A and B are shown apart, each in its own frame.
Chain A
C-alpha cells in the first residue's frame, strides 16, 4: 500500500470519528502548548541576554588579563601578542576610578565613576551616537557614555559635545573636552573613555590593566585564546561567554519544557487507550481489509499513521496556541511597562524560531507514533478469520 494512500485513508478514518479524535488531539495540544510557550520564554530570554552580551563588544575581541602570579601586561607582552598569527591589533587599557566627576554647566556631581583609558586609535571599543566633526581621542579629550550623561540631564547627546568634563582622582585632576557620546545600549553606555596619555598623568603605568586583542575572524578566536592562555595570561572571548550562556539557557529551556513533556507523556497514554479501543471496535473492519488484500504491514501502517497524525495535529495546534499565548503575554507586559514609563522600546520576552516549531511538531508526532505502535501491532496480528467472525 502506497504511503500516500495509507495516509489519506488514515486521515479519513480520523475524520469519521471526529469527537474521539478531537479529544485525543486536545490532550496533545495541552502538552505542546506548554512546551512551546515555556521554551519560547527561555529562547527569548537567551536572545535578549546574548544580544546584550554581543553589544558589549565584537565576537572577534578577546579580553586579556594578568593572572595573579602570571605574566605582566607590558609592552613586551603587547609585542608578542601583536606578532601572533591572525591577530589584527592589540589595544592596551588602563582602568581608573574617579572619586568625583562634574560637568560644566551642571551643579550635580557623580561619585566613584569608572574611567577607562584606551589608545586613541581604538575607537571601535564603543559605538558613537554623537561626535565632534574633528573627532580624535588624543590629548585632553574624552568620550562619555549616553547613560552616564543622563545622570546630569536628559538632553539630546549633541548638547554635551564641547563641554568640559572634570575628573578628580584624589589630589589629581583632569579637565577634558567631551568630543563623543557612546551608545547607551550596554555597560559601555555608563563609561568614560580617555586617551592613554591622560592616564599616565594620574598613575605610573608600568603595566596595563587589560588588553583587547582583535582577531582577524571569529573562527580564529578559539585558537588565539588558547595561545594566550598558554602564555600564562587570562583570556576571555565574548564568543566563549556567548557559548557558555547559550549552554546554560539550553538547560533552562529543557527545565521549562519538562512540564509540557510530562503532560505529553500522560497524553500518550490517551493515544494508546484511543487506539486500542479503535482496534477493538474495528476488528471486523480489519478482517475485511485483510480479506480484500491488506497485508499485516498495511494494517500496521494505517494504524501507526492514524496515531502519528493525532500527534502531528496536536503539535501544530499546540504551537499555534503557544504562540497566541506568548503574543498576549508580551502585549500585556509591554503595555504595563509603557504605562509605568519603564521603557519606550518593546521587549520581546518570547521567541519561537523555526527550529523550535519544527522540533515540537516532530516530537509530538513521534509521541503519537510510539504511543500507537502497540495497538497497531495488535491490529496487524489479528487473525483475519476470527476478525471477520467478530460481532
Chain B
C-alpha cells in the first residue's frame, strides 16, 4: 500500500546539509500495524510527515496505492491527507476554545462528505466513550479524553491510514494503554493501516512489526 523508494529529506543549515531521512526504502502493506522507534532526531516524525503528505521528499519517491505523492499538487495532496490519512499528535492539537464535536468535525469542512457533520462527530465520540462530553470545550477535557477526541478527528473521514506521532507521550500509563488498545482495535477489526511513532519500547510491543530508526536511516 505504501512504498518508499530511496527517500531522503534534506534540510539546509547554512552550508551544511542535514539528512532527516537518508535513502529510505520501505514497504508497508495494507492493514499493517507498524511501530517506528528510535532516539530523538532519528527521523521518525519526518517519516510520518512524508507518508502523510505534510512534507515533500528531497529525493526518491513515495507511492500510496500506486499513486506517487511527488506528482500531486498542493490541492491533491490536501485531498489525500483529508481522505486517506488521519493524524494523531502527541500534544493532541485540539482547539481549546472549540467543543469536542467541533474539533472532531474539522476535517469534514474540507471534505465532500454530504452526511451531517454533527451526526458523524456524535457517533464517533459516542463510540469512543465520550457521549457525555460532546459540548465540552477542549480545555475542559482530561488528557486521555483529549486524545480520544483527537482519534475521533483522525477517523472522521474514514481514512485508510492512521499516523500516530507519540500519541501516549503526554499520558499516564493506564490512559496510554487505553489509547494503544483503541489503535490496535482499529487495525485488527477495521483493517486500518496504523503507523505508530514512539520512543517507548513498551508501547511499540503492541505492534506486530517494529521499525528502528537512527540518524535518518532504518537500522533493522
Q: A residues within 8 A CB of B55?
A: 384-385
Q: Does A16 contact B (CB under 8 A)?
A: yes
Q: Are A293 and B49 in contact (CB under 8 A)?
A: no
Q: Are A384 and B82 in contact (CB under 8 A)?
A: no
CA distance A385 to B87 in the complex (A): 12
CA distance A385 to B43 in the complex (A): 13
Q: Does B27 contact A (CB under 8 A)?
A: no
Residue from the set B49, B52, B78, B157 with the largest chain A CB neighbour count within 10 Å: B78
CA distance A1 to B117 in the complex (A): 14
Q: A residues within 8 A CB of B146?
A: none
Q: Does B107 contact A (CB under 8 A)?
A: yes
Q: Does A337 contact B (CB under 8 A)?
A: no
**8 Å CB interface, A16-34 against B:** 16
Q: Are B75 and A295 in contact (CB under 8 A)?
A: yes
CA distance A297 to B97 in the complex (A): 24
Q: Are B93 and A295 in contact (CB under 8 A)?
A: no
Q: Which of A16, A288, A297 contacts B106 (CB 8 A)?
A: A288
B215 shortest CB reach to chain A, Å: 19
Q: A residues within 8 A CB of B110?
A: 1, 289, 292-295, 298
Q: Does B81 contact A (CB under 8 A)?
A: yes
Q: Which residue of A lies closest to B45 (CB)?
A: A385
Q: Are A297 and B89 in contact (CB under 8 A)?
A: no
CA distance A285 to B93 in the complex (A): 8
B64 shortest CB reach to chain A, Å: 15
Q: Are A384 and B54 in contact (CB under 8 A)?
A: yes
Q: Does B83 contact A (CB under 8 A)?
A: yes
Q: B residues within 8 A CB of A288?
A: 93, 95, 106
Q: Are A1 and B75 in contact (CB under 8 A)?
A: no
Q: A residues within 8 A CB of B95?
A: 285, 288
When each residue 1-45 of chain A gets 1 if its CB lies under 8 Å from chain B and 0 otherwise, what string results? 100011001000000100000000000000000000000000000
A227 shortest CB reach to chain B, Å: 63
Residue from the set A5, A291, A384, A385 with the largest chain B CB neighbour count within 10 Å: A291
Q: Which residue of A lies closest to B107 (CB)?
A: A292
**8 Å CB interface, A358-391 against B:** 384-385, 388
When each residue 149-162 of chain B gets 1 if its CB lies under 8 Å from chain A and 0 otherwise, what string results? 00001000100000
Q: Which residue of B lies closest to A285 (CB)?
A: B95
CA distance A5 to B89 in the complex (A): 26
Q: Which residue of B lies closest to A288 (CB)?
A: B93
Q: A residues within 8 A CB of B54?
A: 290-291, 384-385, 388
Q: Are A293 and B93 in contact (CB under 8 A)?
A: no
Q: Which of A1, A16, A290, A385 contacts B109 (CB 8 A)?
A: A1
Q: Are B78 and A295 in contact (CB under 8 A)?
A: yes
Q: Does B74 contact A (CB under 8 A)?
A: yes
The 5 closest A-B pairs by CB, nearest first: A293-B82, A295-B78, A292-B107, A293-B110, A291-B87
Contacts A284-B93, A292-B110, A293-B111 known; list 9 others, CB within 8 Å: A5-B109, A288-B106, A290-B81, A292-B82, A294-B78, A294-B109, A295-B77, A295-B78, A385-B54
25 of the cross-chain contacts (CB-CB < 8 Å) are A9-B109, A16-B97, A16-B98, A285-B95, A288-B93, A288-B95, A290-B54, A291-B87, A291-B93, A292-B87, A292-B107, A292-B153, A293-B78, A293-B79, A293-B107, A293-B110, A293-B111, A294-B110, A295-B110, A296-B74, A297-B74, A298-B78, A385-B49, A385-B54, A388-B89
